[in-house]
Structure 1
Amino acid sequence: MTAPGTTILRQPPAVWATAFAAVVAFMGIGLVDPILPSIATGLQATPSEVSLLFTSYFLVTAVAMLVTGYVSSRIGGKRTLLIGLSLVVVFAILSGTSNSVAELVGFRAGWGLGNAIFVATALAVIVGAASGGAASAILLYEAALGLGISAGPLLGAVLGDWHWRYPFYGTAVLMAIGFVLIAVLLRRDRPTSRTRLSDPIRALAHGGLSTTAVAALFYNFAFFTVLAYTPFILGMTAYGIGAVFFGWGVAVALSSVLLAPRLHRVIGSVPTMYLALGFLALCQIGVAVFAGSDAHAGVVTCTVLTGLAIGVSNTVFTESAMEVSDAPRAVASAGYNFVRWLGAAFAPVIASRLGDEVGVSVPYALGAACCVVAVAVLAVRRRHLVALTGRPEPALAEAAV
């Protein structure tokens, strides 16, 4: 519950330090978007090979989600955050030194490990330290996600215009700043209970959490089809691609913080999921149609609009995963994100392979189909979501007041 007069902007310095580092962490997702064509050219790689930058990153991220709670419950949140940040700094620098796409894919995997350790723990730290309750903390976390995703393409475009290696070095510098801020501002915590390695998997035995997670897997497939493959069909410079995905990221950020809570308050969490997934499917169909007709303005418009659906989905699915079961938030988050990020891992390589070998419209048609499957999962297993539909006043909606 959010106290009267409390907003997500009134937070302790330690929360802002963690949120800043989270912004930089999420920059790493969209950072490579504007430079994907340049990386392919510089390392003499195909789009399918370059797409493995996303696959290695998110596959390691997904698996690492299962162990982050185990680690943080033994050494504390601050130490875990600093370990994750250190790994990101090291592997971001190594990514910039790559001389082959295989090396870069491997270093991005290490980057994904550090990012998973940091991101999973950051949500728990922000929830624990933020004023205004868990709902405000989740909104702040999703705002950091949106801001990072929107700023990442800009950073990638500006630095990538000099050389495709420079965005990796720039991220390492920013993450080092985040390391210093957290080391100075965040107090060392003492773990109060220990999480078992099996706890996140056990938590997924809950019907509501598994339903939310599986539906999120399919919407993340659609999400990262847009993010990973679209740069190859835009036919733009790094600045052009960066501008498109900056607009997309702004849509993600604004809809996460402003649109999602209002929809949640007015129609409830599950109907909001249906609405967001339906709109995302329509936008994917739009990209498919315009990509097939070589209408770049249509592709750009539909790509940016997908950000609205993705922002709403990110916030509502995350809040729902935290609330639908009786598992501790950190455990529920680990299990949910393990399943969710698998969609992000497989989408880039499947989308690029279909686009290269079948047709540029096919990946987006598959993305739209995944949205339909996500809706079907929610509908067929709706009895497991009673904990969400039965709440008279959604906590997420209160956080926007």
Structure 2
Amino acid sequence: MSAAQGKAAGPFRQPKAVWAVAFACVISFMGIGLVDPILPALAQSLHASPSQVSLLFSSYLIVTAVAMLFAGWVSSRIGAKRTLVLGLTIIVVFAALAGSAGSVDGIVGFRAGWGLGNALFIATSLAVIVGSASGGFGGAIILYETALGLGIAVGPLLGGELGAISWRGPFFGVSVLMAVALLATLFLVPSLPRPTRRSSPIAPLRALRHRGLLTMGIMALLYNWGFFTMLGYAPYPMELDAHRLGLVFTGWGLLVAAFSVFFAPRLQARFGTAPVLYANLIGLGAVMAVIAAGVDTPAVVIVAVIVSGAFIGVNNTLTTQAVMLVSPVERPVASSAYGFLRFIGGGLAPYVAGKLADAAGLSVPFYLGAGTFLLAVPVLARGHRLLRRAEQRIGDSEPVAPSLTPVGVRAVAGPPPVIVAVGAHEGAAAIVDAAALLAEDSDSPLEVVHVRRTAVVEEQAVDTETEERARAAVTAHLDRLAAHGIAATGQILTSVGDHAAAGRVLARHAADVRARTVAIGRSPRGAVVQFADGSLTTALTHAAECTVVLVAPDSTPRRLTTASLAELRDSAA
């Protein structure tokens, strides 16, 4: 809908700039599970204890957390492309240095530098892909999700294969592949405009004064504590070589990717964000307890780790959506504040787990991880009402999403309106023409609604268009209608999630204004994108209490004139 621009295109029909950043995303996401297969080999080769090796995660994640506070500040001053290039350069250098290190302490230090580059990269990669897309925002986001899934799944496999040769292999492999991505980004990605407003490095910390954002951030901290405890310590009791560890975590990564992209939105639509998160956190707590109880049985640990991928995939997506739903601040600021807390939890967990494992045995860190998952449930409960209000758009004490922004003359109480939902694509004028005819024939007021969607992919969230662009699209329709004597009102409807979520938000708005009919056009997105990103039409039809009319105008849009209205009226008769 509002995310579409231009002609319909498949998700993979994108310019070279999008492919260059997508390739870099694959390599970056590989880093999540790349080192897991080599953890036992590192400990053995460098004569280090598991607690010493765990600091590879701690240094990387804690530096990433702190750097997240400054990533937006850097990007607002030097631009998204330069920030991306800087992040890639740092990763290339420090990954190579980690591979050449001769001690655990050296690797831990170089992983800290790697974390700085990672923060700069993840803070801008999705925004750069969306900003460079020509085949529609929806397709670009699907491509980003594909890169994420491929990186998470392939990272452990590549780490296992290279780690079977040498523990240095995964580090050098990342450095080489990121160098290729760096060159592609330099030469293929165009310079993107800088933000009109510069951000402050302390803005994310100030944002944490908002109860909803702080509550969701603490929940994410507890969740990531358990998650990175498992990621950092589960390889040891499995008693597998690097190659087989890689296969285990590849199975885990496939479930993470599948449940993040396909299952999380459908579970959310069926049960709601908070209920799914409650069940998911309890499920993760149970899985971690199984690992703790079966730590002396490798098969139990292997199966439990793979199964955890399903819960982690759901949690990663819905936690970020929950943050964006309740956050009253700008998306980049909310993402930075949320990223700071979640990465802090992930960074502290391996260090504490190592101390506990050395002092009380390997099962204790996993029991603690199970406890942090369960502790996240009452924390989430403290923000339950805020989250529910945000999803249902109840109350106006805080500007939570979804929200409505009037454009032009405000609607007044009157007869039930005809709502037309349009997007920024070339068929929009014909869709509004048909809706104007419906409104005129039923003697109903016309309301033009533009859905401005916030896409959420794992821990990243990005607005698919600016508020200014959405406002201009609605204003253009209202001006054109007014020029021909047709009065109409306009709204920008902000929604968080996939297109199906936007359809449900539109249905709730139609119910609120007692709409007579909702008119929508045929989706300009391809079948692959609709399958992965949800169908607005299907969700709207299922949720709406009024009639939904699917307008299928000719492929060549027709401008609104008196003659064209008469032609439409005659064809309708």
Instruction: Give me the TM-score of the superposition, normalised by structure 1.
Output: 0.93
1:289 and 1:90 map into 2 onto residues whose CA distance is 41
Q: Does the Cα contact within 8 Å between 2:14 and 2:140 map onto a contact in 1?
A: no
Alignment-mate amino acid for residue 163 of structure 1: S
Alignment-mate amino acid for residue 298 of structure 2: H
Match of 1:158 in 2: 161
1:194 to 185, 189, 198: 198
1:126 and 1:209 map into 2 onto residues whose CA distance is 26
Q: Does the Cα contact within 8 Å between 1:223 and 1:344 map onto a contact in 2?
A: yes
1:265 and 1:366 map into 2 onto residues whose CA distance is 32
Spell out the pairing of 1:109-148 with structure 2 (5 A cutoff): 109-130=112-133, 141=144, 143-148=146-151
Match of 2:277 in 1: 273
CA displacement 1:152-175 (0-9 Å, x = unmatched):
211111111111111111101111
Q: Does the Cα contact within 8 Å between 1:276 and 1:309 map onto a contact in 2?
A: yes
Q: Does the Cα contact within 8 Å between 2:216 and 2:383 map onto a contact in 1?
A: no
2:324 and 2:298 map into 1 onto residues whose CA distance is 39
2:338 to 325, 336, 339: 336
Say if 2:308 is the partner of 1:174.
no
Question: Normalized per residue, which structure has more strand?
Answer: 2
Alpha-carbon shift at residue 387 of structure 1 (Å): 4.5
2:123 and 2:73 map into 1 onto residues whose CA distance is 11
Q: Does the Cα contact within 8 Å between 2:132 and 2:189 map onto a contact in 1?
A: no
2:348 and 2:145 map into 1 onto residues whose CA distance is 23
With 163-172 and 81-90 compared, the bigger mean Cα shift is at 163-172
Match of 1:60 in 2: 63
SS for the counterpart of 2:31 is helix
1:21 and 1:380 map into 2 onto residues whose CA distance is 38
Match of 2:366 in 1: 364
Alpha-carbon shift at residue 68 of structure 1 (Å): 0.4
Question: Normalized per residue, which structure has more helix?
Answer: 1
1:208 and 1:259 map into 2 onto residues whose CA distance is 25
Match of 2:229 in 1: 225
Alpha-carbon shift at residue 143 of structure 1 (Å): 4.6
2:241 to 233, 237, 243: 237
Match of 2:534 in 1: 400
1:26 to 20, 29, 40: 29
With 350-359 and 295-304 compared, the bigger mean Cα shift is at 350-359
Alignment-mate amino acid for residue 396 of structure 1: D
CA displacement 1:374-396 (0-9 Å, x = unmatched):
11111023233245431598633
Q: Does the Cα contact within 8 Å between 1:57 and 1:111 map onto a contact in 2?
A: yes
Alignment-mate amino acid for residue 275 of structure 1: A
> Kindly tell me: are residues 132 and 380 of structure 1, through their superposed partners in 2, closer, same or farther at Cα, counting changes over 3 Å?
farther
2:219 and 2:11 map into 1 onto residues whose CA distance is 28
Q: Does the Cα contact within 8 Å between 2:325 and 2:387 map onto a contact in 1?
A: no
Alpha-carbon shift at residue 360 of structure 1 (Å): 2.1
Q: Does the Cα contact within 8 Å between 2:325 and 2:496 map onto a contact in 1?
A: no
1:365 and 1:332 map into 2 onto residues whose CA distance is 31
Alpha-carbon shift at residue 359 of structure 1 (Å): 2.2
Structure 2: gaps spanning 5 or more residues: 394-401, 403-494, 501-532, 536-573
> Kindly tell me: are residues 132 and 218 of structure 1, through their superposed partners in 2, closer, same or farther at Cα, counting changes over 3 Å?
farther
CA displacement 1:351-384 (0-9 Å, x = unmatched):
2322232122222211111111111111023233
1:204 and 1:142 map into 2 onto residues whose CA distance is 28
Over aligned residue pairs, what C-alpha RMSD do you find? 2.2
SS for the counterpart of 2:322 is helix
1:375 to 359, 374, 377: 377
Match of 2:188 in 1: 185
> Kindly tell me: are residues 113 and 283 of structure 1, through their superposed partners in 2, closer, same or farther at Cα, counting changes over 3 Å?
same
> Kindly tell me: are residues 2 and 153 of structure 1, through their superposed partners in 2, closer, same or farther at Cα, counting changes over 3 Å?
farther
> Kindly tell me: are residues 264 and 8 of structure 1, through their superposed partners in 2, closer, same or farther at Cα, counting changes over 3 Å?
farther
> Kindly tell me: are residues 379 and 132 of structure 1, through their superposed partners in 2, closer, same or farther at Cα, counting changes over 3 Å?
farther
Alignment-mate amino acid for residue 390 of structure 1: Q
2:127 and 2:83 map into 1 onto residues whose CA distance is 11
1:373 and 1:138 map into 2 onto residues whose CA distance is 33
SS for the counterpart of 2:191 is coil
Structure 1: gaps spanning 5 or more residues: none
2:168 and 2:183 map into 1 onto residues whose CA distance is 24
With 379-388 and 89-98 compared, the bigger mean Cα shift is at 379-388
Instruction: Give me the TM-score of the superposition, normalised by structure 2.
Output: 0.66
1:195 and 1:387 map into 2 onto residues whose CA distance is 28
Q: Does the Cα contact within 8 Å between 1:25 and 1:148 map onto a contact in 2?
A: yes
> Kindly tell me: are residues 280 and 141 of structure 1, through their superposed partners in 2, closer, same or farther at Cα, counting changes over 3 Å?
farther
Match of 1:306 in 2: 308
Q: Does the Cα contact within 8 Å between 1:70 and 1:195 map onto a contact in 2?
A: yes
> Kindly tell me: are residues 184 and 387 of structure 1, through their superposed partners in 2, closer, same or farther at Cα, counting changes over 3 Å?
farther
Provide the aligned length of Structure 1 versus Structure 2: 398
Say if 2:209 is the partner of 1:209.
no
Q: Comparing both chains, which one has the higher relative contact order based on Cα–Cα distances under 8 Å and sequence gaps of 6 or more?
A: 1
> Kindly tell me: are residues 51 and 142 of structure 1, through their superposed partners in 2, closer, same or farther at Cα, counting changes over 3 Å?
farther
Q: Does the Cα contact within 8 Å between 1:78 and 1:189 map onto a contact in 2?
A: yes
SS for the counterpart of 2:36 is coil
SS for the counterpart of 1:30 is coil
2:326 and 2:498 map into 1 onto residues whose CA distance is 13
1:83 and 1:128 map into 2 onto residues whose CA distance is 18
